[in-house]
Structure 1
């Protein structure tokens, strides 16, 4: 079967857009139904759960994307099935161990940190093995070079189930404990979907004896465990430190700004869903020129759409945050700072995955350590003086440093870089589109409706201008067939 990169990324983009919208809705539901304090508690608990889950994944999310396509290309279903089993069972066992250790040491951790966690925190600890298995299961479907399955599992199945259950808990029962349990139940549903789809596609089979490539898989994945955990801290140190030094309602306000800024990396996340498997295949085959073309084309379009999204956030900052209810002026400032940091994160393209899939996974650990240490220091210093604005500055700075490191390393080690003068077409399209975005603010319609109308009009104008400017050979790589 042959699929174009465009088709794969388009499915992932549209599904990811819907999924991100649903997950964004979680935060709106909590803020509207239970208040910003509950949102702050939920945000802190999610950081604990996902942080433990990242460690429990043992780097197998990346290993699945690397080895499943290689074993399938080699025509070895026993190794494919063995790899899938490793990817499902190992995170469950590791996650259970991590959750048990955190639960047993709960009082000691509170004493060391010098604070008392919210009573709901143990529920999030319970979810550590669940989130680990689901996320590795999703990444195992990426190894099939099909993005639709991840859309079915996480963006539709788990996210819809979570939103419905959380809305019932928030608006009908007004119970935060029940809301958290509803979210955990949705993760179990996501795991069942992942297992079902892997079985249906023959990646997981019980009619043959699985071949477990333990040494090869764990030699690749285990070094990534620490790197992934540290990278996670780069993204979420702000919430952890805020949870210690500021009230929960302030954490909730910051969470609203942060989750809004994360919408800017939807395009990058969509590209990341398929790029690692393609990069692994092309690198393994020695097709460096084709790899560079794919890397360049993906990065170019991620840059175009993310910069356009940044312009939209800058123009409609207040209106976007009003979705959560009344907020403070500092939230708008934090959103602007975070949006700039996320844009830097996006415009370097899938550079981190490129390093991992070309044999430089240990370098990722070094990068993440540097960024994590910087992020922790900045958050500890700035949050105590400037609150949520300090957290935003610390996070944006750390993201910028991390991605600059990756970009320089790819250029130096692989002699690849995605930029050229041909970016002028996107620059022209954005420059012409921006006045349309500004004028949309003058529409005599309610605020949120104006946001949607302005955003839609801006995207339409950008698409028309881009189409009229035409596509060059590098752009056309997005429609080439990849076997």
Structure 2
């Protein structure tokens, strides 16, 4: 099992690093061509879009991963066609209504006071239904076992299109502002959604299109709603610092801070890759009741995750100035924020696979509560720290919240599963066994 997991984790790591590397390259070139202020406006708008898109999704992208295999195995083509068409229509409607509501809110706010983000937000708000649909179709492809289709259009092609368009505009004008960059993102997403739609059509059993659709929206949404809450809490935890900095400090601070935040994520890339492969094994061993094998696997995974992550974190901290300098000289000012966020990520990787251990063993509701309380705490801490310390305060608040929910989940894993998942507990057990 461990050999297969190691091989799978290696493949997942390569794919994840490739995807993250391309995203990071896109951020580098946009930051260089746009400068701190315009890049900050762009990142602020994107943060709002990601948050609103979660609401537009209604939890359905995660729900289809459950229902599509179920309907396919049962050869229930009517329900499968209804799910494919119905989820698409529901998300399109929700996204369009959210975009209209966003336009009304932005116009109303603009009449009260000057807002630097008004025009970029009015343009960017129409990205909401496209992001939601692209995510839905990615998850549909994943549910159908089409991994390349699941990740390539949304994670790779979109960023390539944005970079290509940005390069053309920059060569023509020798400058790039937020509104054209956002427009490029919308056009790129539109291409991605249409390509996904076309390619997905050939992936379903042809009987799907010969069967009248059967719609079960209540059944789908009953499963999707708790997933919507969890996804919403996750996106809040990842975006609230940027949104609050943008509202209280300004776009330049957003641009500088967002580079630090995105760079710090590299410290958790091994955690993401290993968890992707190990999660099914956690579930299988738990169902079999083999706690001893589960503990051995979790302990091994803790080592796989922590030591490479520690090396990455040390490199990020040690070469912070050089890494941030790639974006431009002004971004070097974020080295303090990046160091704090990387330390928060070290707690995250040191805690081990606590999130997946909870969700893969039927304790997802407890996890949802923890992420909900953590999101609320993150808002409160940022509200206190940002006015006092600026972006450093946001980094402290975010890293503190990250450490808190990891420690909390660790306590619950020990309580409910009798498993010690962290690198600290793994090392302690190893030392005590030698005595």
Structure 1 residues 207 and 398: CA distance shift in structure 2, 3 A: same
Aligned residue for 2:204? 202
**Residue in 2 that maps onto 1:256:** 259
Tell me, in whole angstroms, the C-alpha distance in 1 between the residues paired with 2:324 and 2:368. 35
Q: Deviations over 1:140-170 (max 9, x none)?
A: 3332455433332233222222221233234
How much does 1:319 deviate? 0.9
Correspondence 1:114-263 to 2 at 5 A? 115-145=115-145, 147-173=147-173, 174-176=175-177, 177-202=179-204, 205-263=208-266
Contact 1:371 1:398 in 2 (8 A): yes
Output the CA distance in 1 between the equivalents of 2:88 and 2:11: 25
Q: In the alignment, which residue of structure 2 is the partner of 1:321?
A: 324
Q: Is the 8 A contact 1:69 1:281 kept in 2?
A: no
Alignment partners' CA distance in 2, 1:357 and 1:121: 38
- What per-residue deviation string (whole Å, max 9, x for no partner) do you get for residues 374-431 of structure 1? 111111111112111111111111111122222322332344443478966xx9xxxx
Q: Is the 8 A contact 1:157 1:189 kept in 2?
A: no
C-alpha contact (below 8 Å) 2:103/2:125 kept by paired residues: yes
Gaps of 5+ in 2: 431-435
Residue 398 of structure 2 corresponds to 395
Q: Do the aligned partners of 1:257 and 1:321 also contact (CA within 8 Å) in 2?
A: yes
| Contact 1:78–1:208 under 8 Å retained in 2 | yes
Q: 2:287 matched to 1:286?
A: yes
Change (3 A) 1:107 1:256: same
Counterpart selection for 2:387 from 384, 388, 395: 384
In 2, Cα distance between equivalents of 1:392 and 1:139: 32
The verdict on how the C-alpha distance between 1:310 and 1:219 changes in structure 2, with shifts beyond 3 A counting, is same
Alpha carbons 1:64, 1:143 under 8 Å: kept: yes
Q: Deviations over 1:264-297 (max 9, x none)?
A: 2323333455666x379749x9335477776655
Larger mean CA deviation between 154-163 and 336-345 belongs to: 154-163
Q: Is the 8 A contact 2:352 2:423 kept in 1?
A: no
3-state SS in 1 of match to 2:137: helix
Deviation at 1:94, TM superposition (A): 1.4
Q: Distance in 1 between matches of 2:156 and 2:13?
A: 13
Of the structure 1 ranges 339-348 and 143-152, higher mean CA displacement relative to structure 2 is found in 143-152
Contact 1:30 1:36 in 2 (8 A): no
1:452 corresponds to: none
Shift of 1:46: 0.5
How many pairs does the alignment contain?
421
Question: 1:102 matched to which residue of 2?
Answer: 102
Measured in 2, the distance between the counterparts of 1:267 and 1:123 equals 36
Match of 1:107, SS state, is helix
Within 2, Cα distance between the matches of 1:89 and 1:294?
42
Distance 2:302 2:75 in 1: 32
Distance 1:97 1:299, change over 3 A: farther
Distance 2:197 2:395 in 1: 38
Give TM-score scaled by structure 1 length: 0.77
Shift of 1:338: 0.7
Q: Which moved more, 1:392-401 or 1:182-191?
A: 182-191
The equivalent residue for 1:460 is none
**CA contact 2:337–2:391 (8 Å) conserved in 1:** yes
Name the CA distance, whole Å, in 2 between partners of 1:297 and 1:13: 17
Change (3 A) 1:151 1:223: closer
Displacement after TM superposition at 1:200 (Å): 3.4
**Distance in 2 (alpha carbons) for counterparts of 1:291 and 1:186:** 44
- Give matches, 1:25-64, under 5 Å: 25-64=25-64
Cα offset, 1:349, TM superposition: 4.4
Tell me, yes or no, if the aligned pair for 1:87 and 1:137 is still in contact at 8 Å: no
2:260 and 2:338 in contact (8 A); partners too: yes
SS of 1:324's equivalent? coil
In structure 2, how many angstroms separate the alpha carbons of the residues matched to 1:78 and 1:298? Answer: 42
CA apart distance, 1:17: 1.3
Residues 170, 10 of structure 1: alpha-carbon distance in 2 compared, 3 angstrom cutoff: farther
1:47-90 superposed Cα distances (whole Å, 9 cap, x missing partner): 11111001111112322333334444555555444444344332
Contact 1:12 1:151 in 2 (8 A): no
> What is aligned with 1:336?
339
Which residue matches 1:435? none
Choose 237-246 or 184-193, whichever is displaced more.
184-193
Structure 1 residues 9 and 155: alpha-carbon distance in aligned structure 2, compared to 1, 3 A threshold: farther
How far apart in 1 are the matches of 2:277 and 2:140? 12
